[in-house]
Structure 1
Amino acid sequence: MIRYEQFVLTNGLKVYVHEDSSTPMAAVNILYNVGSRDEDPNRTGFAHLFEHLMFGGSQHIPVYDEPLQKVGGENNAFTSPDITNYYITLPAANLETAFWLESDRMLSLSFDPQVLQVQQKVVIEEFKQRYLNQPYGDVWLRLRPLAYQHHPYQWATIGKDISHIEDATLDDVKQFFFKHYLPNNAVMVVAGNVTVEQVKQLCKKWFEPIEAGNPYVRDLIQEPIQTEARFLETSADVPLNVLYKVYHMPGRFDENYYKADLLADVLGRGKSSRLYQQLLKGNRLFSQVSAHNTGSLDPGLLVVSGSLNAGVSLEEADAAVDSILQELVAAPVPEEELLKVKNQAEATLAFSEVELLNRAMNLAYAANAGNADWVNQEADRIQAVTPDDVQQMAQQLLTKQNSSTMYYRAKA
């Protein structure tokens, strides 16, 4: 249970406070309601570029890291298709330093042309190293547009093409910033050895003077229901053939999400899963095989993937995977098997709330999605799933017409 109090500043910034006097630390997490799904299809990769630019100096603070390090703080950030998240941990006694730093870059970045050039080079190099020059690095550059043909989940957070970052101008960057990096488009969570009154006073001092911008109204093209199987084959200089199969599934806070999530766990979570037991330990078709879901806010993907053993054809492996999927379509999961994956899921949830920063992040994520209380309802939702629920979800999701399959062949 993550206990919290909340309030909203006059400029629309939503603030949540989680008091925990058992620690000498504090966490300040600011989630901006912008991810790669909010980008122009011809200017992708901007949300991720901003993850870098936000550390390149703000209006009154030329160097972000230095003053934070002086007070014993650490920081980082991450970008996803749905959000961009910035966080600081530091001794609670130095909390105001975090407010000073975060409020200044919410007010405005420095928009130094040299900083933009440096960070463009950093992101371009990351694109090359992680996505183009690494074995299997381009998997999601290929799978996303196969599975999503309308929704902006069709491109990765790094972007569609290097040229979108190379060609970004200072004006492009300013427009993106003042459209999305606004107090009324953000959620702030302050957690740790703090008080609600203390946070209110610091918010009034540092954040409330920042003017609200025009409200960002998200109006994305939704992905139609897939009506036919999709297939892609590619090859590269990689060690092993790999099979990928993805199926559209409910979004992260949909009422049916955990039915699909537990279905994925039964299929491919750990060494007791069906895929592992039958295709790695049993028939030895794969050297590695698993299933998971993307957990995105809009309808996401249930992903089955595996590296094949030498001498096994992709067609044979695909047929073997499909046979296991159809077992879940045909019969309910035994109670004992479902209970095991429920306990695993609940344990993961409990461990995620041990760390102060994780609690702050989880609270911010649920609040941004629409209801902060969701963060405390997940264990009950996991336990409420029945074997019939899992079978019905399998029947709904694991169909040919809902599938996108990719054969990634190793060049001979």
Structure 2
Amino acid sequence: MIEFNSFTLDNGLRVIVHEDKSVQTAVLNIIYDVGSRDEDPEKTGFAHLFEHLMFGGSKHIESYDEPLQQAGGENNAFTTPDVTNYYMTLPYQNLETGFWLESDRMLSLSFDPQVLETQQKVVIEEFKQRYLNQPYGDLWLKLRPLAYNTHSYQWPTIGKEISHIEEATMEDVKSFFYKHYIPNQAILVVAGNVDTEQVKELANKWFGPIPAGAPYKRALPKEPRQNERRFFEIQEDVPTDVLTMAFHMPGKYDPDYNAVDLISDILGREKSSRLYQKLVKDETYFSSINSYITGSIDPGLLVISGQVADSVSIEEAEKKVWGVIQDFLDHGIEAEELEKVKNQAESTLVFSEVEILSRARSLAFAALSGNANYVNEEGELIQSVTQEKIASLAPEILRETNCSVLYYKAKEKKI
């Protein structure tokens, strides 16, 4: 159970406080309700670019990292298709330093042209190194537009292409900032050795004067139901063939989400899973294979991905995966197997909340759904999944007409 208090400032900033006097640190986690799904299709990669720009100096503070380090703190950030999340950990005695730093960059960035140019170069280099110049790096650049025809999940957080970052102007940057990086688009979680009244005082002092922005009303196109198998093939200089299969599934806060998550665990979580036992251990069609979900807020993907064994064709490997899926659909799941994957999932959840920073992050994500107490309900939701629910959902999710298949082939593979 993660206990918390919450309040909202007049400018719309939602604040959540999780007190834990057993630690000597404080955490500030601020989540902005903007990710790559909110970008203009012709100007992608902006949410991720801002992950970098937010460390490049703000209205009154030239360097973000230096004063934080002097206060004994450390920080980082990440961007997803749904959100941008910034977090810091510092000694609880220096909590106000965190409020000062975070509030100043919410008030306004420095909008220094040199900072923009520098961070554009950093992001472009990251695009090249992670997505273009390493084996399988562009897999998701190909898979997303294959699986999504309409929704803005069709491009990754890095963006569709380098030119979108190269051509970003200061006017573009300012427009994106004042649309999304505003108090009424953010949730601040303060956790650790803190006091709720102290946090209220600091929040009003540092964030209270920041004006609210115009409400952002998200109106993303809904991805239509997929009714045909989709296929794409790549052939590159990579070590071995990789098969990737993506099935549409419900979003994070849909009532059926946890059941589909467990279906992915049954198929491909760890070495006791069905795909691994059958296709790696018993019959060596793959050298490795797993199944996972993207976990997105809007309807996401259940993904099966595996490295095909050298002596096997990728076409035959795909057939074998469908064989495991069909066996699952035909015979269902025994109570003991379901209990095992439910306990594994709940254990992962419990262990993820050991660290104070993880608890703060979980609270921020839950609050974004409109129900911060979701962090305390998720375990029960996992345990409430029944064999009947699995049996009813699996045929709808794991149908061939709901699948996007990507063959990433090695040029020199010998069968």
Q: Using structure 1 for the length normalisation, give the TM-score.
A: 0.99
Cα distance in 1 for residues equivalent to 2:382 and 2:175: 42
Cα distance in 1 for residues equivalent to 2:388 and 2:46: 43
User: Which residue of structure 1 aligns with residue 296 of structure 2?
Assistant: 296
Cα distance in 2 for residues equivalent to 1:96 and 1:254: 38
User: Which residue of structure 1 aligns with residue 99 of structure 2?
Assistant: 99
Q: Deviations over 1:162-206 (max 9, x none)?
A: 000000000000000000000000000000111110000001100
Deviation, structure 1 residue 354: 0.2
Aligned pairs for 1:119-138 within 5 A = 119-138=119-138
Aligned residues: 412
Deviation, structure 1 residue 76: 0.3
Q: Classify the secondary structure of the residue corresponding to 1:377.
A: helix
User: Which residue of structure 2 aligns with residue 390 of structure 1?
Assistant: 390
Cα distance in 2 for residues equivalent to 1:112 and 1:276: 52
Contact 1:30 1:87 in 2 (8 A): yes
Q: Which amino acid aligns with 1:61?
A: I
Q: Deviations over 1:26-84 (max 9, x none)?
A: 10000000000000000000000000000000000000000000111000000000000
Contact 1:228 1:402 in 2 (8 A): yes
User: Which residue of structure 2 aligns with residue 266 of structure 1?
Assistant: 266
Cα distance in 2 for residues equivalent to 1:271 and 1:393: 24
Contact 1:235 1:410 in 2 (8 A): yes
In the alignment, does 2:336 pair up with 1:332? Answer: no
Q: Which amino acid aligns with 1:78?
A: F
Q: Classify the secondary structure of the residue corresponding to 1:372.
A: coil
Cα distance in 2 for residues equivalent to 1:384 and 1:328: 20
User: Which residue of structure 2 aligns with residue 70 of structure 1?
Assistant: 70
Aligned pairs for 1:192-231 within 5 A = 192-231=192-231
Cα distance in 2 for residues equivalent to 1:332 and 1:308: 26
Deviation, structure 1 residue 295: 0.1
Cα distance in 1 for residues equivalent to 2:127 and 2:236: 17
In the alignment, does 2:314 pair up with 1:310? Answer: no
Q: Which amino acid aligns with 1:258?
A: N
Q: Deviations over 1:249-270 (max 9, x none)?
A: 0111111001000000000000
Contact 1:330 1:391 in 2 (8 A): no
Deviation, structure 1 residue 127: 0.1
Cα distance in 1 for residues equivalent to 2:67 and 2:225: 50
User: Which residue of structure 2 aligns with residue 406 of structure 1?
Assistant: 406
Aligned pairs for 1:160-179 within 5 A = 160-179=160-179
Cα distance in 1 for residues equivalent to 2:51 and 2:249: 28
User: Which residue of structure 2 aligns with residue 249 of structure 1?
Assistant: 249
Q: Classify the secondary structure of the residue corresponding to 2:57.
A: coil
Cα distance in 1 for residues equivalent to 2:184 and 2:385: 36
Cα distance in 2 for residues equivalent to 1:180 and 1:167: 20
Worse-superposed segment, 283-292 or 368-377: 368-377
Q: Which amino acid aligns with 1:115?
A: V
User: Which residue of structure 1 aligns with residue 187 of structure 2?
Assistant: 187
Q: Deviations over 1:340-393 (max 9, x none)?
A: 111110110001100000000000001012211111111101111111211212
Deviation, structure 1 residue 286: 0.4
User: Which residue of structure 1 aligns with residue 86 of structure 2?
Assistant: 86
Cα distance in 1 for residues equivalent to 2:157 and 2:99: 28
Cα distance in 1 for residues equivalent to 2:8 and 2:350: 29
Aligned pairs for 1:325-364 within 5 A = 325-364=325-364
Cα distance in 1 for residues equivalent to 2:254 and 2:327: 25
Contact 1:247 1:397 in 2 (8 A): yes
Runs of 4+ in 1 over 6 A off after TM superposition: none
Deviation, structure 1 residue 332: 2.1
Contact 1:270 1:276 in 2 (8 A): yes
Q: Classify the secondary structure of the residue corresponding to 1:304.
A: strand
Q: Classify the secondary structure of the residue corresponding to 1:315.
A: helix
Cα distance in 2 for residues equivalent to 1:165 and 1:253: 32
User: Which residue of structure 2 aligns with residue 23 of structure 1?
Assistant: 23
Contact 1:331 1:391 in 2 (8 A): no
Cα distance in 2 for residues equivalent to 1:290 and 1:356: 30
User: Which residue of structure 2 aligns with residue 48 of structure 1?
Assistant: 48
Q: Deviations over 1:198-240 (max 9, x none)?
A: 0000011000000000001100011001111101111110000
Percent identical: 63
Q: Classify the secondary structure of the residue corresponding to 1:305.
A: strand
Q: Which amino acid aligns with 1:111?
A: F
Cα distance in 2 for residues equivalent to 1:314 and 1:332: 27
In the alignment, does 2:3 pair up with 1:3? Answer: yes
Q: Which amino acid aligns with 1:71?
A: A
Q: Deviations over 1:89-132 (max 9, x none)?
A: 00111000000000000000000000000000000000000000
Worse-superposed segment, 193-202 or 389-398: 389-398
Cα distance in 1 for residues equivalent to 2:13 and 2:317: 51
Q: Classify the secondary structure of the residue corresponding to 1:307.
A: strand
Q: Using structure 2 for the length normalisation, give the TM-score.
A: 0.99
Q: Deviations over 1:388-410 (max 9, x none)?
A: 21121211100011000011100
User: Which residue of structure 1 aligns with residue 13 of structure 2?
Assistant: 13
Deviation, structure 1 residue 331: 2.2
Q: Classify the secondary structure of the residue corresponding to 1:50.
A: helix
CA RMSD of aligned residues (A): 0.6
